[in-house]
Amino acid sequence: MSDVDALSDRYVGQLAATDPCHAAMMGIAGHDGELTDYGPDGFAARHELAERTLAELAATPVNSDTERRAAAVLRDRLDIELARSVAGYVDAELNSVDSPPQRLRQAVELLDQGDRTVVADMRSRLTGIPEALSGLRVSLERGRQQGRVSAVRQVVNCARQSKEFADYLGTLPSAYRAETERAGAALVDFAAYLTETLAPAAPNRDAVGRERYALEARNFLGSEVDLLETYEWGWQELARLEAQMRAVGGEILPGEPLTAVLAALDADPAHRVAGAEQFRVWIQELADKAIADLDGTHFDIPEPLRRLECRVPASNTGIYYLAPTEDLGRPGTVWYSTTVDEPSTWAVPSVMYHEGAPGHHLQLGLNVLNTHSLNRFQRLSAELHSGHSEGWGLYAERLMDELGYYELPAHRMGMFAGGQQLRAARVVVDIGLHLELPIPAGAGFHDGSVWTPELAFEFVLARSGSMGSAEFARFEVDRYLGYPGQAISYKVGERVWLAARADAKARQGSRFDLRTFHSTALDLGPMGLDLLTSELSRLLT
């Protein structure tokens, strides 16, 4: 093990100890009964850890390309973490998607495995919820006194979600009754604090402005992009995709507008299954087939990754993938929420290719297994590199189209309407909202108006495909407003992955091999997009 690897491994262990909720999402074992300290001392400890590790990294010798790359990945993340902390964007933050209230719930949900639940760990985490909320409240109060409060929209949403968390705890087995009652009462009390004390001090303005947005975009992308150029490109990409949608729609219902085509697909019983369990079986079979087909052709899939577990939770927790734990005790898992009795399937294949294989399951699972060339931080830090991981997920959707895996025009429409169109819309809405930009002339949607949450809701609702409900559109807009920069990571990341492949083809000509490109790129592990581009240029000559 090199000195850089040893330092990176120490950092991961220390980070997990100071942030067990984050460790749970990263798949790090050993802290399964613990919760993160969200009080001022906890945030200070994580800031000090980043500073100390960065200083040690600067004094650590680098003796090979592998070590240089590992050092660059760690340095990039530590620089960004410290910049956000110093700017005051960490310890008083609340948002609708990924802030302490959501991480506390995720830490409990990950342990909720039915008969496989480790009772001692679950009881310990439930017992720790009141103390974790108390510490968070101290941090939020300090932020309030300093004038650092998240927008009222995010505060109110976190209050509602805290009550929903309390309701969820009430569904856990009666064996945890004492712990769930105390935790539930603490959550209800915390929700009241948010509503009655913090919300009145919260600003109504949602936009974070250019300076903060640029830093947040760098956080998710690992790249300093030209925001105005990216905004204009987002409009162009959206127009290109919608033209392709109209062409596919003509194959499904010739002469009908897109709205009629999408409505017909939603209503078609041929694209529905009865009940959550049947839906789980359907997506499991889809995932298993993709793994079997891709292994040995366009990818090399190790045996541990040939198992992907698909779960359909009772609560509406969204759709996401969790990589295997380091010890492979928890397999790669797709969580796919559905809130209807007969889920629609026409847009599901692209989602499963994004979350399963060749998407996140292959990408993130390979990271976990790649102990020969990646240190522990590299293997487990994919969550910190959204542009890399989500860009790959969207690239995987498009790759499966190139390889002919969307068997029906309805499934191709699902790729466009269920993912690509919305992700392009996210680019223009996310940047437009936070930089308060005008909608360009000729867009055909309130031309010249400056973006507002109300316009964003209307825009997203019309571009949400099979998910196009008012509830979904409201959640999406709240997500963009509270989580600036993350929404663009999908399409911007895909743009970089496609550009890297095109560059490799141009450099290698007839020597280019898709399977080799994939293995070379994925062997690098997670990293920022700028580093990904430069490293692939070095390797694929």
Report the mean per-residue pLDDT for the chain. Answer: 94
- Residue 454, pLDDT > 70, answer yes
Averaged pLDDT for residues 279-285 = 96
Check residue 329 and give its pLDDT.
Answer: 83
- pTM above 0.85? yes
- Residue 28, pLDDT > 90, answer no
**CB count, 10 Å around CB of 86?**
11
In contact, 317 and 335? CB cutoff 8 Å = yes
Of 25-39, 133-147, 254-268, 467-481, give the range with the top mean pLDDT.
Answer: 133-147
DSSP string, 51-80: HHHHHHHHTS---SHHHHHHHHHHHHHHHH
Share of the chain above pLDDT 70, in %: 99
**Alpha carbon of 142 to those of 91, 135, 145, 317: distances in Å?**
9, 11, 5, 30
Q: Is 97 exposed, middle or buried (0-12, 13-18, 19+ CB in 10 A)?
A: middle
Check residue 466 and give its pLDDT.
Answer: 56
Tell me how far apart the terminal alpha carbons of the chain are, to the nearest angstrom. 28
Check residue 467 and give its pLDDT.
Answer: 61
Rounded CA-CA distance 403/119 in Å is 45
Q: What confidence tier does 355 reach under pLDDT thresholds 50, 70, 90?
A: very high
Check residue 492 and give its pLDDT.
Answer: 98
Dump pLDDT digits (tens) for 375-409: 999 998 888 899 999 999 999 999 999 999 998 99
In contact, 89 and 211? CB cutoff 8 Å = no
Is the model more confident about 325 or about 203?
203
Check residue 464 and give its pLDDT.
Answer: 81
Averaged pLDDT for residues 234-256 = 96
What's at 91, amino acid-wise? D
Check residue 540 and give its pLDDT.
Answer: 87
Rounded CA-CA distance 192/160 in Å is 10
Determine the distance from the C-alpha atom of residue 217 to the mean position of all C-alpha atoms in its chain, rounded to a whole number.
14
Check residue 326 and give its pLDDT.
Answer: 80
Q: At what angle do helices 529-539 and 514-523 cross, to 10 degrees?
A: 130
Q: What confidence tier does 472 reach under pLDDT thresholds 50, 70, 90?
A: confident
- SS3 string of 346-373? CCHHHHHHHHCCCCHHHHHHHHHHCCCC
Q: Which of 118, 84, 113, 100 is nearest to 22 (CA)?
A: 100
Rounded CA-CA distance 519/370 in Å is 12
- Residue 418, pLDDT > 90, answer no
- Residue 462, pLDDT > 60, answer yes
Dump pLDDT digits (tens) for 498-526: 999 999 999 999 999 999 999 999 999 99
Check residue 242 and give its pLDDT.
Answer: 95
Take residue 526 and report the two structure tokens written for it. 């997670």
Averaged pLDDT for residues 154-165 = 97
In contact, 295 and 306? CB cutoff 8 Å = yes
- Residue 80, pLDDT > 80, answer yes
In contact, 480 and 380? CB cutoff 8 Å = no
Q: What confidence tier does 468 reach under pLDDT thresholds 50, 70, 90?
A: low
Backbone angles phi, psi at 76, to 5 degrees: -60, -45
Q: What confidence tier does 459 reach under pLDDT thresholds 50, 70, 90?
A: very high
Backbone angles phi, psi at 317, to 5 degrees: -105, 10
Rounded CA-CA distance 49/52 in Å is 5
Q: At what angle do helices 65-86 and 529-539 cross, to 10 degrees?
A: 170
In contact, 178 and 170? CB cutoff 8 Å = no
